[in-house]
Structure 1
Amino acid sequence: MPSFTSLAIPALYQTSRQFAPRSMAALRQAQYSAKATKPDVVTFEEIDTLINKKDKKVVLIDVRESGEVAQGVIPTSHHVPLANIQEALSLPEKEFEARFGFKKFGKDDEVIFYCRSGRRSGMAFDLAKQLGYNGVRNYSGSWLDYESRAKTQK
């Protein structure tokens, strides 16, 4: 009877080859793609830099309710309540702009969601990912983190 190793090693080798890149070019492309994408979670420092640079390429969306937004917002952000996110992401560009007051972002544009503490923005992030938006990110610290850290910087 053959040993376990003599049976298992060829099977493992065949399995691993199924998932291996077909060429060095494919390997390089996979490495480049992995480096090109940003992490899903945004830090306070990134938000602060974004605000100071007034980067118009990145869209910052507040998914809190109107009463919470009245208490304060992160500068440069736009308001789209979580209850409206799914519908908003499905709207045509002109209708989106008429309803929310800013230009609709593309599926590959960088969009950062935030809320009060990070839970609702995480839900908005997950929903946007499911709808095919690849450039979305989540500021998990959200308003509470921003408010407390922005105060200490001043």
Structure 2
Amino acid sequence: MKYLLVGIVLALLSFQAIDALKCMQGIEATKGNSQDKNNNQKNEKPLEVTECGAATAVASTALLALVKPSSFNIPTGGYKCYHLKYEEKNSEASTIIKGCIYSSVDVCDGKFSSSNLNEVFCSQCDIDSCNSGGRFGLDWKLLSLILTALVAYLL
């Protein structure tokens, strides 16, 4: 009986691994002083977790091409998440762009700097929600399935 339960849990784990890549998507802009930050946060749409697909990759690539045109490349099959932060040189305003792009697009091909923008941070990855702030935590579904398998095995 316990081998059956462990087998079911392992099957569920493998189905979870087959799911499409999910990335945080959106823009987060902040201004220098705290009053402007509060106003921005009230007006902004929060970042959302989206499933990577052709539509989200094209939208993110177009947004990225506006800021960093040198990163554009011929799109190919797979997907990856990215996180890009840049600041305006003459103010304390900064912008964070997160999204899903084709795996052939190299977002972090070197820091860019223009007459009014300066890149601060860039990362790209291919794990679910890896471009979010909580990427270092365990997925709760995965953790609960592992604990269930462990309990089933010990019983």
Decide which structure has the larger Cα Rg and report it.
1
Normalised by the size of structure 1, how large is the TM-score? 0.26
More strand by share: 2
> If the length of structure 2 is used for normalisation, what is the TM-score?
0.26
Q: Per chain length, whose mean CA-contact separation is higher, i.e. which structure has more relative contact order (CA < 8 Å, sep 6+)?
A: 2
